[in-house]
């Protein structure tokens, strides 16, 4: 029974991916990508990876979907209808043959590796030392904290890169407003955003707290709150900040900064990112709350895009 479900799920994943790639209508393709993200979330649940399922659905389906829909709408407004230029038949057939060959080789490689639980037992043995029970949070914030620290800087760097793509006249104005123009729709979206924003905040705070022992964590929580911020911005309940606002910049660097400071304090005690025995859980939760706040604001602003020249707004 489980096998039948798994096979059906994989067939649906592949079919949805095909639709997301090869449907002619770009909006329909993006919607299929969102469906694909949700199906992948189900696949991760089947694989007992609830942490990844949460991240995949919130980020892979949610944030990426909103981002692409917004990019398409802005391209259409600029007169680009996102129509693919035709490609000669021989080139298309060549590409299909090439990718089929590549997929065959990749499948053989995948089949030659026996799936196994890898480091599960070793990580389980180390978990009591850091006082939390979610092994994925343990890997992210203790055993491989270095990777996660660098990742937060990647996210910050991406936002700086997106900001730097705005035209010269736009700096440091806010990105083009996300607000819905139709007044009726906007009042509905605004009311929804006002109700949802505090709920998203509570849910995000819970996800970080629960993330120590149960599935959850800073990235999932940050994304949930980013979703709340975006919906509130779409409904006009909140405006988008200017890029030179000191409060905004403080929130953006808070997570990476707290992480780096705690890491450096560890360096003074012996090793970079060392958590002294007994304090690990407290330090991890502190880092996670700071990270969740920074991730939420960074993701929301990544979706909103580059600064826009003020006369182009509203």
Among positions 33-62, residues that touch other proteins (CB under 8 A) are: 33, 36-37, 40, 43-44, 46-49, 51-52, 55-56, 59-60
Q: Which CB atom, from 124 or from 191, has the smaller least distance to other proteins? A: 124
Contact between 5 and other proteins per CB under 8 A: no
Kindly identify the residues of this chain, within the stretch 119-148, that bind other proteins according to CB under 8 A.
119-121, 123, 135-136, 138-140, 144, 147-148
| Chain CA centroid to CA 237, Å | 23
Kindly identify the residues of this chain, within the stretch 85-114, that bind other proteins according to CB under 8 A.
85-87, 92, 95-96, 98-100, 102-103, 106-107, 109-111, 113-114
Q: In terms of Cα–Cα distance, which of 162, 164, 148, 132 is closest to 256? A: 148
Contact between 6 and other proteins per CB under 8 A: yes
Q: Which CB atom, from 30 or from 190, has the smaller least distance to other proteins? A: 30
**Cα 20 to Cα 58: distance, rounded to the nearest angstrom:** 18
Give the list of residues 6+ apart from residue 309 with CB closer than 8 angstroms, or none. Answer: 167, 169, 170, 173
Instruction: Report the nearest approach of other proteins to the CB of residue 268 (Å).
Output: 26
Instruction: Report the nearest approach of other proteins to the CB of residue 228 (Å).
Output: 17
Question: Helix axis angle, 2-22 relative to 26-46, nearest 10°?
Answer: 160
Phi/psi region, residue 65 (left: phi>0; alpha: psi -120 to 50; beta: rest), is alpha
Residue with tokens 């180390």: 126
Question: In whole angstroms, how far apart are CA 78 and each of 160, 242, 287, 295?
Answer: 24, 23, 41, 30
Instruction: Report the nearest approach of other proteins to the CB of residue 191 (Å).
Output: 28
**Cα 213 to Cα 130: distance, rounded to the nearest angstrom:** 11
Burial class (CB in 10 A: 0-12, 13-18, 19+), 62: buried
Report the residue from 38, 248, 254, 306 that binds other proteins according to the rule CB under 8 A: 306
Instruction: Report the nearest approach of other proteins to the CB of residue 229 (Å).
Output: 15
Kindly identify the residues of this chain, within the stretch 198-227, that bind other proteins according to CB under 8 A.
217, 219
Kindly identify the residues of this chain, within the stretch 63-82, that bind other proteins according to CB under 8 A.
63-64, 67-68, 70-72, 74-75, 78, 80, 82
Question: In whole angstroms, how far apart are CA 107 and each of 96, 100, 103, 119?
Answer: 16, 10, 6, 24
Kindly identify the residues of this chain, within the stretch 235-274, that bind other proteins according to CB under 8 A.
none
Q: Which CB atom, from 37 or from 263, has the smaller least distance to other proteins? A: 37
Q: Which CB atom, from 115 or from 270, has the smaller least distance to other proteins? A: 115
Kindly identify the residues of this chain, within the stretch 147-186, that bind other proteins according to CB under 8 A.
147-148, 151, 154-155, 158, 161-162, 165-167
Q: What are phi and psi of 175, to 5 degrees?
A: -65, 165
Instruction: Report the nearest approach of other proteins to the CB of residue 102 (Å).
Output: 6
Question: Total number of residues binding other proteins (CB under 8 A)?
Answer: 95
Question: Helix axis angle, 280-304 relative to 64-77, nearest 10°?
Answer: 20
Contact between 28 and other proteins per CB under 8 A: no
């Amino acid at each position: 029974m489980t096998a039948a479900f798994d096979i059906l799920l994989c067939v649906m994943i592949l079919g949805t991916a095909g639709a997301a790639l090869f449907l002619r209508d770009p909006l329909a393709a993006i919607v299929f990508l969102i469906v694909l993200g949700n199906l992948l979330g189900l696949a991760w649940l089947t694989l007992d990876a609830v942490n990844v399922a949460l991240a995949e659905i919130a980020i892979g389906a949610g944030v990426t979907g909103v981002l692409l829909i917004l990019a398409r709408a802005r391209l259409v407004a600029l007169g680009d209808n996102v129509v693919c230029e035709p490609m000669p038949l021989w080139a298309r057939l060549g590409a299909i043959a090439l990718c089929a060959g590549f997929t065959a080789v990749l499948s053989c490689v995948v089949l030659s590796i026996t799936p196994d639980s890898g480091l599960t037992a070793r990580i389980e043995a180390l978990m009591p030392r850091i006082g939390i029970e979610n092994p994925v949070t343990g890997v992210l914030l203790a055993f491989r904290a270095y990777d996660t620290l660098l990742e937060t800087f990647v996210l910050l760097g991406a936002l700086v890169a997106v900001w730097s793509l705005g035209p010269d006249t736009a700096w440091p104005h806010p990105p083009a407003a996300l607000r819905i123009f139709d007044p009726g729709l906007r009042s509905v979206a605004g009311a929804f955003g006002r109700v949802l924003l505090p709920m998203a905040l509570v849910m995000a705070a819970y996800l970080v707290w629960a993330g120590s022992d149960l599935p959850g964590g800073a990235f999932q929580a940050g994304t949930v709150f980013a979703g709340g911020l975006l919906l509130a911005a779409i409904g006009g309940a909140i405006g988008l900040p200017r890029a030179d606002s000191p409060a905004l910049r403080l929130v953006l660097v808070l997570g990476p900064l707290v992480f780096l400071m705690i890491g450096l304090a560890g360096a003074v005690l012996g090793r970079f990112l060392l958590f002294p025995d007994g304090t690990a859980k407290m330090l991890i939760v502190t880092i996670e709350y700071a990270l969740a706040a920074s991730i939420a604001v960074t993701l929301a602003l990544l979706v909103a895009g580059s600064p826009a020249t003020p006369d182009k707004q509203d």
